[in-house]
Amino acid sequence: MRNPFRSEAEAYRLVWLTIGYFVLIVAGSLINVWLGFIVFVVETAVVLWLVFSRRSDEPPPPQVESARTREDERRILVVANETVGGRELLECIERKSAGVAEKVLVVCPALNSPLRHWVSDEDGARAAAQVRLDSSVASMRAMGIEATGQIGDGDPLQAIEDAVRTFSPDEVVVSTHPEGRSHWLERGVVERARERFHVPLTHVVVDLEAGDRSSSS
């Protein structure tokens, strides 16, 4: 949802939209009270629809062209949370890094409850994400991959958008739990990311439970 009081110009526009909104309601009410009520309901429904559907119409974020140090450099943006240290993900990154001068940025969204997010109590979520991130980046470096990491926004799409702006990736790798256990898949994060960002996107499924079973057996 976009803040209508983001700037003076937008607030000024809202003044005129408010006038238009109420002029129609008053005009309807002068003809018939119930007509005024219907106008109110219809207008309010339209406004709510416009407010909550606006995000999907947003254009993809502009990419910042950052200087590349080598001709064959390939920038890979990895977005993962609990699966960030998963075997399948590491293997995928290793495959993609073969034969190119890879530069991998691992972004770990700091998942948090909505209440904690809005009261800015994100320290716990970020600390947990940092632990996973450090472990994953260390694993990649041990495999000879040039990797860096950063904590991202709790919303994975926003985390991708932030990283796309600053990192200019050639491709994005999103790692999730398998279908049925993944909140991101349930929310359609992968599909929405493919629609929104004009960068090739690979979806890697990491089954941590299978990994635990095999390691324990």
Neighbours of 101 (CB within 10 A): 14
For other proteins, give the closer residue by CB, 22 or 49.
22
Specify the stretch interacting with other proteins by CB under 8 A; choose among 17-25, 69-77, 135-143, 196-204: 17-25
Least Cβ distance, residue 161 to other proteins (angstroms): 7
143 binds other proteins (CB under 8 A): no
Query: Which member of 76, 80, 133, 151 binds other proteins (CB under 8 A)?
Result: 151
CB 173 within 8 A of CB 77: yes
H or E, element range at 77:
strand 73-79
Task: Select the residue interacting with other proteins from 29, 63, 148, 168 (CB under 8 A).
Answer: 29
Segment lying near other proteins (by CB under 8 A), choices 25-33, 46-54, 66-74, 136-144: 25-33
The single residue among 75, 103, 126, 132 that binds other proteins, judged by CB under 8 A, is: 126
Strands 201-205 and 101-109: unpaired
- Rounded to a whole number of angstroms, the minimum distance from the CB of residue 7 to other proteins is 7
Identify which of residues 93 and 106 has a Cβ nearer to other proteins in the complex. Answer: 106
CB atoms within 10 A of CB 180: 7
The β-bridge relationship of strands 201-205 and 73-79 is unpaired
The Cα 26–Cα 114 span in angstroms is 38
Report the alpha-carbon distance of residue 205 to residue 95 in Å, rounded.
Answer: 15
Q: How far is the CB of 16 from other proteins (least distance, A)?
A: 9
* Residue closer to other proteins, measured from CB, 6 or 95: 6
Rule CB under 8 A: say whether 135 interacts with other proteins. no
For residue 101, CA distances in Å to 68, 150, 174 come to 11, 20, 20
Name the residue with tokens 């119409």: 57
CA 162 to chain centre: 8
- Residues lying near other proteins in the complex (CB under 8 A): 3, 5-9, 11-12, 14-15, 18-19, 22, 25-26, 29, 36, 118, 120, 122-123, 126, 151-155, 158-159, 161-162, 165
